Amino acid sequence: MSGAGEGEAEDISTVDNYQGLQIAPNPDGTITRLAKLPESPPTSDPKLPTPVLSKDIPINESKNTWVRIYLPRHALDHSSSSKLPLVVFYHGGGFILCSAASTIFHDYCVSFATDVPVIIASVEYRLAPEHRLPAAYEDATEALHWIKTTPDDWLRDHADLSNTFLMGISAGGNIAYHAALHADVDRLHPLKIHGLILQQPFFSGSQRSGSELRLANNPEFPLSWSDLMWDLSLPIGASRDHEYCNPTVGDGCKKLDRMAVGWRVLVTGWDGDPLIDRQIEVAKMLEENGVHVVCHFAEGGYHGVDIIEASKAKALFVVVKNFIFS
């Protein structure tokens, strides 16, 4: 894996970031997504040979937000007294790409629901730059209120809403973090958040971290891609030291009180990811503010490896299972 040495100046000027991300800027501030990423339909028919059933339900049709629910088949054979934990999942894609229907995230959720096991509500949120932050956070919290009131039979009969975790990978981890900060938890009953699972969460800042410098030219996720994603996602004129991007600056710590009261936070990462120092920094900030933090940082890997390599996903599911059921 190539990259500059620790402390060396980054050399990312030759990277064509728009081409690399397969997007094109438009004069009106939107982007054209040039690559049609594979998508998978839900499978709700219990007669089909799938270990996990899934279905899509609208949340807010005016915003075109919806949720894909994943139900392990074996849950249908159990009484309502043995309900499964609920994981509200936010997909990755740097806030600008992908969908809850993207095959890579659909397959991941199927494997996750099978191995852990849990019921998953994977949220389709609005993308930037057409809908800059905090739009995704608003959609994330709206989904929580929708879940607590929905008459959906899968959630009603098989999900333990009092044992809910917010989870996301990359940008989805950032969304899970901010959804937890901004949700009015007192109004979510009977949904009760027990903790967060931040999988390679997407954070940054104006001053480069050691891993950002060291891995600036990382072939899987160069730092210039990260910068462009933030440029397209943050409010117009905001720097990477905005609280959405860098939670360690400003008043971010003042919002952590609810996490410190009973919540647990799992933060995972790989040392081949340019963002790992940011992830460690956020985990340390949470811990210093009284939050029960569990860290799982491993050697090797790269940004997104958990959803790309099945063996890495399987290993992570063991960690997450121990975290949820401990």
Catalytic residue numbers, as ranges: 170, 273, 303
Q: How many helices (H) and strands (E) does the chain have?
A: 11, 10
**Which three-class secondary structure string do you get for 84-136?**
EEEEEEECCCCCCCCCCCEHHHHHHHHHHHHHCCCEEEEEECCCCCCCCCCHH
**Strand 84-90 to 65-72 pairing:** unpaired
Q: Which long-range contacts (CB under 8 A, 24 or more apart) does 255-262 make?
A: 255/181, 256/181, 256/286, 256/289, 256/290, 256/291, 258/180, 258/181, 258/185, 259/180, 259/196, 259/286, 259/289, 259/291, 260/289, 260/290, 260/291, 262/194
